[in-house]
Structure 1
C-alpha cells in the first residue's frame, strides 16, 4: 500500500500573528508580506498594503497567511527552501515601512526544518 505525504505549508503563522493581520487588515484593507535577505529592516518580514510592494521575477510566492500573500526573495528562498517559515509577533518596533510599526509590536520569522518526507513531497510538487 502506497502512503502519501500531505504537502506541508511553506509559511504559516501563530495565532498572535493572525490576530495582528486581522487588525491591520481592518485599518489598511488588503495586505501582503515580503521577506528578503537584506540587512536591517530587510531581514524582517515586511507587511504592506496589497500591491504597495512590487514583486517580480526575483520573488517567490511562498503561500498565504490568513488569506494574505507571503512573498520571499529568490536568493533567500534558496537558502530557506527546506524550512517552514512561521510568522510570529513580538513586542518591539517594526520595520520602518512595515504596517505594524505603530502597534508597538513587530513581525518576525521563526522556523523549523522540514522532515525528509515533507521535503520529498515538496520536491515532487515542484515547490522546491
Structure 2
C-alpha cells in the first residue's frame, strides 16, 4: 500500500505494509478527531475582517441603551413636574427652535427675563433629577 504526502513543492508516495498503512490511517483519524473536537467551536482570526463583528462585545451597547432609556424617562418625568408655562417655554425654545428674542416678544417681556426663566427651569430640573 502507498501513503501519499503532499508538500508545497512536491508530492511523495511511500510504499508500506498493510499493517503500517492501517496504523497510519488510524493515527490520522485520531488526530483529525482531536483537532475537530478542539477547534469546531472556534473562529479563526485568519478568516478576515468581515468577521470582526464576532469579536465585538454587545454587552456594553445593551447597558448603554438601557441607561439612556432610563435617563430619558427620568428627564420626561422631571419636565412633567414643571409648570405649564415652563413646559411651553421649553417646547418653543428647545424643541421648535424659537429664538429667545422672538419668545420674549411673544410674551411681551425682555429677552433677559426669558434667559432668567430658562436658568430657573434648569435649576429646577437639576433639583428634581438629583
TM-score normalised to the size of structure 1? 0.19
Instruction: Report 1 or 2 for greater relative contact order, CA contacts < 8 Å, sequence distance ≥ 6.
Output: 1
The structure richer in helix per residue is 2
The structure richer in strand per residue is 1
TM-score normalised to the size of structure 2? 0.19
